[in-house]
Amino acid sequence: MNEQVAAETSTGRAEMPVLGRRRVLAAAGLTAVGVVWAANSGTSQVARADTPGCGTPTPTPTPTPTGGTGTFRVPIDTVRHTRTWMAWPDSTAIWGSGGGRGGTSLAGIQANIALIANTIAKYEPVVMCANPASAAAAKKACNAANVTVISSIPVDDCWMRDSGPVFRTDGAGGLDAIGLNFNGWGNKQTHAKDAQVARLVAEYAGVAFTPAAGFCAEGGAIEADGAGTLMATRSSILDPARNGGMTQAQAEAAMCAAYGASKVIWFDGYIDSGDITRDHVDATSRFLEVGKGLVQQPNTKDVKDGWYNDEVNQYKVLAAATDAAGHAFAVTKIGGPDYNVIRSTNANFVGSYANYYVCNGAVISAQFGDAKADAAAKATLQSLFPGRVIEQLNIDSVGAGGGGIHCVTQPQPVP
């Protein structure tokens, strides 16, 4: 990231420094685990850590399903949903009252979460998990008729994509869920409540649940096409604080067993000292459907740093890859915003158009205040999802906190 001070232009207006892409989750609420953070070296080497993740796990057997007779696998996000699951943040230890994670505030992140929930609720039901003490505030903010706030599933933070269960279907009416052993992004944030969210959500939904998927990861770290192919970054999955001692082959076997897949497309990823996700794939690369993908590419004004190179490399890898059936991908590029134009001046800001959320009848995406890039992104998404409404939201507090709309949502697919 470029840390230079803003320079004065001839017009007298302060010219913002050219920023790199982003650091996905700024560190906050750290637990004392002795984690050694990697330096922002511009390489894709996996950081070492004093504390191991989940040891050397093995693939978890398929749980007893709820109904159905087929093979269970994680579907692509574009399938029809029964509901969307979200979580209401209320921790001042994490978000502060006026300048917490990413320089945003608890009020700011709560307003964004409510906006996302109320927007999704126009298209499908939303269940918001809130702590008992903040349930009333969540209900007041999430006031759409289609949002249900529950206080029986306590949470630490708002990142339901990472802490929530990963639902699976079998194509024959069956639905179950797996957990990914969420450990606070490698024990880098308080997560005693969030570690239980996957199991509790599955229980609330009334589906069979496997408490261990055979490895440690987060939902945002793995992208599935629903037909046997996964995408992930080595920097996240092979992080020693998540899966210490695992080889890539072992991790791939565990991932495929859990997701009902047979192939993983690996990106090197990138390690930045401010990114505790270790470069989640869902901020850059997404499956549109079987055989089709989308990869966000750097803005021409971006500094050619590690994040810039990561986006370029992810496109190159996916464009040259084949899926589980041996077919080549058609890959669409979506351009990133100009960090000198967007509203946020936070160097860690996540400006990811690729981190959209597909719900029933709509695509919920972000806009960052770069009118040109925002319009281009909306046009790209509309061309890719012609039968859905494209909603663009100002979620700058989520971006400043290190994520996007996909990061705070978890779909429950129709069986």
What per-residue confidence (pLDDT) applies to 308?
95
Residue 102 confidence (pLDDT) above 90: no
394 in helix, strand or coil? coil
> Which neighbouring-strand residues pair with 293?
287, 331
Average the pLDDT over each of 118-122, 300-304, 309-313 and give the range with the smallest value: 300-304
Task: Give the model's pLDDT for residue 44.
Answer: 35
187's CB contacts (< 8 A; 6+ apart) are 31, 33, 35, 51, 53, 241
pLDDT 10s digits, 77-90: 999 999 999 999 99
pLDDT exceeds 60 at position 322: yes
pLDDT, greater one: 204 or 59: 204
Q: What is the predicted pLDDT for the residue at 356?
A: 99
Classified as helix, coil or strand, 67 is: coil
Three-class secondary structure of residue 227 per DSSP: coil
Spatial separation of the C-alpha atoms in residues 173 and 241, rounded to whole Å: 37
What was the pLDDT predicted at 251?
Answer: 96
Q: Residues 30, 36: contact at Cβ < 8 Å?
A: no
Q: Is the pLDDT of residue 157 over 60?
A: yes
Please say whether the dihedral angle defined by the alpha carbons of residues 136, 85, 28 and 304, taken in this order, is positive or negative: negative
Respond yes or no: is residue 407 known to be catalytic: yes
42 pLDDT above the threshold of 50:
no
Q: By C-alpha distance, which of 370, 180, 395 is closest to 277?
A: 180
Mean pLDDT to the nearest integer, 15-22: 36
Which uninterrupted H or E stretch holds 70?
none
> Rounded to whole angstroms, how far apart are CA atoms 179 and 167?
9
Q: How far apart are CA 4 and CA 20, in angstroms?
A: 11
- Mean pLDDT (the chain) is 86
Q: pLDDT-derived band of residue 39, with 50, 70 and 90 as boundaries? A: very low
Tell me the average pLDDT across 110-123: 98
- From 129, 216, 359, 407, active-site residue: 407
Listed residue (413, 362, 361) closest to 391, CA to CA: 362
pLDDT-derived band of residue 66, with 50, 70 and 90 as boundaries? low
Residue 10's pLDDT is 31
Tell me the domain boundaries of the chain. Answer: 7-413
Identify whether the C-beta of residue 397 lies closer than 8 Å to the C-beta of residue 348. no
pTM, two decimals, is 0.87
Distances (CA, A) of 218 to 107, 273, 293, 388: 26, 18, 21, 27
pLDDT tens-digit map of 193-241? 999 999 999 999 999 999 777 899 999 999 999 999 999 999 999 999 9
Is residue 114 over pLDDT 90?
Answer: yes
Give me the CATH code for the 7-413 domain, please.
Answer: 3.75.10.10
Q: Are 207 and 167 in contact (CB under 8 A)?
A: yes
Q: What is the pLDDT of residues 236-268, one digit of tens each?
A: 999 999 999 999 999 999 999 999 999 999 999
Query: What pLDDT shows up at residue 167?
Result: 98
Given this model, what pLDDT does residue 306 score?
Answer: 94
pLDDT at 407: 98
What whole-number distance in Å separates Cα of residue 121 and Cα of residue 93?
29
Per-residue confidence (pLDDT) for residue 273, from 0 to 100: 84
